[in-house]
Each structure stands twice: as C-alpha cells, then as structure tokens.
Structure 1
C-alpha cells in the first residue's frame, strides 16, 4: 500500500478536480434540466452524481479496491447490515450543502476522508467558491491550499472566554429544541454558514469558534463529519459527543445520533456540560 503522504497527494489532486467540476455545474446555472433529480432525503442534483463518480473513479483507479472500501453519500445502501470489513475506508460526500448549492449561497463543500479502525487519519475538505482546499493527516497538522498552489498551516483562534465565542449555525435545519438550546448558551454571538464543511472551515479560519449538532428526526451522517472533524482537530480544535466521547465511523449505522459539539478547543468540556444541562432541563419541562 502507498504511504499516507502519497495517498494524501492523490486525495488533494482529486479534491481540486472535484472542486472545478462542481463549480462548472454551479456557475452553469440551474436552468439545466439535469439539475433536478428527486431524492428521498432532500435535493440531489446531477452535480452530486457527477462529482461522486469522479471522486470514486479517481480513488479506485489510483488505489484500487483490495486495501480500501468506500462509503459515499450517493452510493451508500442504507440496507447494508454491519460495518465494512476493510480496516481502511474512504468516506465521501461529493456535495455537502446541496441546498446551499441550489440556493446559490456559495457555502457548499466536498468531503473526502480516509478512516482506519473507526477514526479519520486523512481528510480533504474543498470549499469550491472560496477556491480553497483544507487538508490534514493525523498528527500532521492542518493546511490550507489556495488555487495558486500556496500552502499555509492553519490554526483555530485562541479565544477562551465563553461570552466571546461565536457559534456558527445553519440558516435552516433548526427545530424548536435546538433553538431553545442556543438561546440559553453563555455564548450568544452567531454567524450563519451553510454546509458542515464550510462551518468547520469558518472555525479554522478564526471567524467562529463553536458548532453544535443536535439530532432530531434525522442526524448527520458519517460523510458529513469525518473529513471536517480531522481538519478541525489537527488545527487545534475539538469535536466530540456532548459526553466527551469521540465520534466513530463505519460502525454499521451511518447516522451520528445525539448531541455533537465542535469548538476551537477552549472551553470545550465546559460547553459540552452546559449543553447537556440545558437539554436535561428542557426535557424535564416537557415531561
């Protein structure tokens, strides 16, 4: 098998190629009749399908299927029982933030993560409209690469006072319970950003500090979180369940249920405890 550095070079190249392909759909306009494919969970466009095919084809051509398994949002069979048996698994989201793609906010991303024994070891998150690609390997730090080829190490902000922290939140996907949680947190500064990948990039770029996911009728999936988690943690941040336990991937159920909190790493445990306390009070009132 190739070294992690060689695999990363391949993943970065694929990330840029996928980014250019996705932008060609984005700037081609939504009058294209191909950009209208219904999906049971929400909007899926021809762009999702094309970029998914491009990423899988390039990965499998370069790396094969003997050492690696592949989980992709667009090809995953929800009826599959149990986790994939290979220790190395690629987890891919060809278009994170499809609604933002359709609504033309520019806040959509591409996630490519390599997971070993349930934890990410390599990640690429491309933000096509920012023309940036974030990448990380476990223990190797996080870097941002721009279209001109410039590579810069990147770290989260040092803000460490609860009241000074900024939450990055969605414009949609916010039910009553989640809004009540946000209203009672000690940090009340908010910034609205689209996809999860773009939210985490916003934290890495020091424009925000905290992201919270609270599952309700649905939950974020492995492909929503695996790549963003690693680029955040390798940039000095933290990403856990509210109880402090790490996220695990390729566990059979691709849903990441419960409360999840990503932060710049400062006040992380305190915020997790506060979120748990608030939720317990809310649930107590509803009984």
Structure 2
C-alpha cells in the first residue's frame, strides 16, 4: 500500500482510509495474541518479565508491538508520523510531529497471563494531542471497535459483519452500571467508588475491555483516579475515541479534555468515562465526594 499523508483534519476521507488500514492490522495483531494465549506451536514461551514499576511484559507484548509498528510504518512514514508505544517509549519530551500514533499492543498483560481473556489492543492516531482515528481489538471476543473523528464508532466481528455502536440512554445515576478493575484500587479510590450510588458493578480487566462493555450497553461508567502512579497515554487514547464517537464522554473530573503526547505520558488526576447522559453530574458528584474524603482524612488540629 502507498504512503498516506494527511495535510488537515478536513480530509475525512483520509481518516476513513486510515481506519481501513487499522482494521487489517487489528485482526493481524489479534491473531498473534490469540496464538500466544493458546500456546500454539512457535508461540509457547511467554518469557514473562516482571517490572515492579509498570507491570509485567511478555513475548506476546513485544511480538505484537513489532508487528503493529512494522505494518503502520509501511504506510505512515516516521518522518511525518510519531510513534508513542508502551513497549518502545523512552524519555520525557513530547514527540515533535503533529500526527502521533499512540499504541498499546497488549492492554491487560496481567489478565493475559492469568487467562481471564480480558485483554485488548489499543491503536490511536492523534493530531496535536487529540485522537482522530482509533481501534480497540478484543481478541477473545473476536471483535474490533474502530472510530474516526466525526464518523462514529463501529464494531466488526470475525465474519466481517460491521454494525454501528451506540451507548445506552439510562438517565439516572442510580440506574447506571459501573465497570471497574478487580484490583488496582488504593483506599481513597475504593472509598470514592463505594460512595457513588450506582445500581451495580461489573468487574473487567483491561481499559479497552471495560470501555467495550459501555459500547455493548452492559456498563455506563468507568472511573480512573491516580494515586502513587497513573495510567498512561496508551491506556486511554484509543478507548476514548471509540467511546466518544459512540455517544459517550471521556474527560477529567473538571470537564477538561485529555491531552496526549505532552512529554509526561501519565494521565494524572480523576478521569470520568461515561455513556454521556449524566456525565457532568457524575463529574460533580465524584469531585464532591473526593473533597469530603480528603477533608475527613486531614489530621485534626
């Protein structure tokens, strides 16, 4: 395939062309992860490396990352497009290009190792810090979700059937379903979740898998709250766009948008991802509860 160059965001046909490329890459990357997951011939050794700071890394992460980068760079020249990948990122300076690929070849590595099936692939193209094309692949569900800015979100299955994806319209906080991790919560975050008056909670690994449950209308809200550490750009860039193009919202509690490729790849603070209907109310409620929790935690004079 010839190189793709974009001169401005008005070239919506270019974004659709990029999404076509991503769909092919998403299925190829899914095949690699599924082969490792099943220990197929030639894919049996995960070679798990435990990193106390950023979690485990496996041969599956690295092989999938290599595949994604190679396929993207066949079409998107590194001189024009930056590449910000979990497995290759170094340094603290933002990449100089306006157009930057943000990639997580295996989101949910621990779930992959533990065989929960709740792992995903995230690939997003950002323009000046905001996502404009994105793909989230869920290999064990045999689905890929993809979106373009202003073009909506679609889900494709292995048969090639493609359907538009839309979030639920539940309009009362007490009727909403929260999706959360089984672990990864410090005491402050746990208190926040306990005080949010949701109808029920779904426990799912991988951010991509969590957001997919909102697209499938099984959940409505996902919350991130940094503590000693924080999620990274590649955790959110692709999930954000597939959610917002399906009708949802993904912001800081303040309502400010997430910005990617700032240099510091960590996304600090409170972040709210929702089906959008009660988004501002949810942000205000979370902010109020946190203020109360932090007030209660202050030492008495």
Question: Which TM-score applies when normalising by structure 1?
Answer: 0.96
Question: Would you say 1:141 and 2:152 are equivalent positions?
Answer: yes
**Residue of 32, 35, 52 corresponding to 1:21:** 32
Deviation at 1:66, TM superposition (A): 2.1
Give 1:278's aligned residue: 289
Give 1:63's aligned residue: 76
Q: What is the total number of aligned residue pairs between the two structures?
A: 284
Give 1:237's aligned residue: 248
**Residue of 3, 6, 13 corresponding to 2:17:** 6
> Unpaired runs of 5+ in structure 1?
none
RMSD: 1.2
Please tell me whether the aligned partners of residues 182 and 188 of structure 1 are also in contact (alpha carbons under 8 angstroms): no
Give 1:39's aligned residue: 51
Residue by residue over 1:193-221, the C-alpha shift from the partner in whole angstroms, topping out at 9 and shown as x without a partner, is 10000000000100000000000011110
Question: Would you say 1:116 and 2:107 are equivalent positions?
Answer: no
Question: Would you say 1:151 and 2:162 are equivalent positions?
Answer: yes
Deviation at 1:169, TM superposition (A): 0.6
C-alpha distance in 2 between matches for 1:229 and 1:191: 19
Give 2:137's aligned residue: 126
Deviation at 1:43, TM superposition (A): 1.1
Question: Which TM-score applies when normalising by structure 2?
Answer: 0.92
C-alpha distance in 1 between matches for 2:171 and 2:238: 25
C-alpha distance in 1 between matches for 2:50 and 2:111: 16
Please tell me whether the aligned partners of residues 36 and 44 of structure 2 are also in contact (alpha carbons under 8 angstroms): no
Give the SS at the match of 2:145: strand
Deviation at 1:34, TM superposition (A): 3.8
Give 2:86's aligned residue: 73
Question: Would you say 1:97 and 2:111 are equivalent positions?
Answer: no
Give the SS at the match of 2:60: helix
Alignment of 1:165-176 (within 5 A): 165-176=176-187
Question: Would you say 1:49 and 2:62 are equivalent positions?
Answer: yes
C-alpha distance in 2 between matches for 1:34 and 1:151: 33
**Residue of 178, 182, 201 corresponding to 2:193:** 182
C-alpha distance in 1 between matches for 2:157 and 2:265: 31
> Unpaired runs of 5+ in structure 2?
7-13
Deviation at 1:39, TM superposition (A): 2.5
C-alpha distance in 2 between matches for 1:53 and 1:190: 36
